[in-house]
Amino acid sequence: MSQKSSSTSSGSVVSTETGTAKVPMGKGIGVRGVVFLVAAGAAPLAAAVAVFPVVVSASKSPVSPLFFVVAALALAVFAVGFTRMAHEVTDAGAFYDFIRVGLGHVCGRGAATLALVSYAMLFVALVGYLGASTASAVEYFTGTVIPWWAWSTVSLFITGVLAYRDIALSTKVLGVSLVLELAIMLVLDFVMVFRGGPQGTTPSALNPLRFTEGTPSLGLMFAFFGFVGFEATVIFRSEARNPHRTIPRATYVSITAIGLFYAFSLFAVAVGTGPNSLVAKATENPQTLVTELAWTFLGVFGQDAVQILVLVSLFGCFLTFHNVLARFTFNFGAAGLLPSALGRAHPLHHAPSRASLAVTAYCLLAIAGSVILGLDPVLDLYTWFSGAATLGIIVLMALTSLAVIVFFRGHERGSWLTTFIAPTVSLVAFGALVFLVVKNLPLLVGGYGVAVALIAVLAIALAGGAASSLVSRSSARNL
């Protein structure tokens, strides 16, 4: 396998290419397309329905909208070093390529394996939740009972077809779905805010003086989960037009837009329920909090529209992460860590089509295994694997912050703000968040035994990947 590295005049590693990627990827998406992919991956309407109640009920905080503001600010600080590093490292592996360049090949290989396992877990979590939500909605509207795994399989087939083709097709589908789900949620938000709830329209849910009430650490943990996937801006750089301009802009736009949407929407929910009743209602009826507000303020049509568009939102999220996981698989194939055929782009679509087929096959096996083992798609698949995936991704973010600091100490250029101060702040923040997530993971996944098993899988992925680099130092040097 041939490999090539290039460097700037000052000696920094800029790219590492492999001879296996025989057909170049297409260059079809700009800032708007990347933002669509990331925002759809965040599944804003689905997050409002599924994540908001958990943020409120877990934290018992009267000012829970502020958790999304804090999370967005923390990610914006992280993005300072993240996007600065993106100018130096032009590979499309995001976290693990940055870690490889900053901390060395051993850490980079471990991070790459951890990333692949984390996103594979997240993909399984999503296929279970999407199937269960679709089955529930079909039963609600038609009375027909169809098992969740059937809907999961249908959804997987559709995303597999879309992901097999040029990424531009996926962005068009995601653009439509994103506009629809944002429209219904923003209509509901503005109606609640301007009409007012039981206590009128009061800004008390945004009072920073009450931030420490309840358990803010839990609220922040779940708030960060709503942003998982924003790093996809860099993953899609090989298919972006003018990536040096597109990627930083798309990253900041994505973080800002998602953060503002979450904070404003949860504030509107607080107005709709009444700030004094928010915690109680989110705790008593978490699954119907938003849909009941839609019925109250928009009527039956609004409630039905929300239920339907939640499925659209989940599908957009599922499609985004199918594309993300396919590109991770493509990079592993190109590096020789998976069969090299997976690292070749389609000659017509210029997409990682073979890698996409592999992702589809993997998910079909996961669905079949879940059915055989009798796992619940929400209580088991979604809860277990989304929690573990979040932990894995936060660990990668902490390691990335450290990698930025180390890299720029050896390559003196750029301001201290972008190469040291911001990465140091984000390293401390995400290091603390890793501690909080590990501490509270049993609460998230429903038991210590499951939590220990999931943490063990992540640890084995990280350590095993690093060990494999020591064993085979002569091959796959770019991962």
What residue type is assigned to position 40 of the chain? A
Compute the distance between CA of residue 475 and CA of residue 479 in angstroms, rounded to an integer: 9
- The pLDDT, as a whole number, for residue 245 is 80
Q: Residue 131: helix, strand or coil by DSSP? A: helix
Compute the distance between CA of residue 185 and CA of residue 191 in angstroms, rounded to an integer: 10
Q: What is the pLDDT of residues 132-146, one digit of tens each?
A: 989 989 998 999 999
Check if the beta carbon of residue 238 is closer than 8 Å to that of residue 34.
no
DSSP character at residue 13 = E
- Which residue, 474, 472, 370, is CA-closest to 129? 370
Q: What is the pLDDT of residues 327-384, one digit of tens each?
A: 888 888 887 778 777 777 765 656 677 888 999 999 999 999 999 999 999 889 988 8
- Which residue, 466, 467, 457, 287, is CA-closest to 389? 457
- The pLDDT, as a whole number, for residue 342 is 78
DSSP character at residue 200 = B
Token code pair at residue 419? 């190469």
Burial class (CB in 10 A: 0-12, 13-18, 19+), 475: middle
Check if the beta carbon of residue 290 is closer than 8 Å to that of residue 269.
yes
- Which residue, 93, 121, 127, 132, is CA-closest to 232? 93
- The pLDDT, as a whole number, for residue 17 is 40
- The pLDDT, as a whole number, for residue 401 is 96
Residue 6 phi, psi dihedral angles, 5° rounding: -125, 160
**In the chain, what are the domains?**
21-471 (1.20.1740.10)
Q: Which helix (H) or strand (E) holds 278?
A: helix 278-284
Token code pair at residue 274? 């009444």
- The pLDDT, as a whole number, for residue 36 is 74
Check if the beta carbon of residue 377 is closer than 8 Å to that of residue 131.
yes
Using the Cα atoms of residue 381, residue 388, residue 338 and residue 396 in order, give the sign of their dihedral.
Answer: positive
Compute the distance between CA of residue 190 and CA of residue 264 in angstroms, rounded to an integer: 10
Task: Count Cβ atoms below 10 Å from residue 420 Cβ, excluding itself.
Answer: 16
- Which residue, 175, 320, 177, 183, is CA-closest to 265? 183
Q: Residue 92: helix, strand or coil by DSSP? A: coil
List, for the chain, all residue ranges whose pLDDT scores fall below the cut of 50. Answer: 1-25, 474-477
What residue type is assigned to position 174 of the chain? L
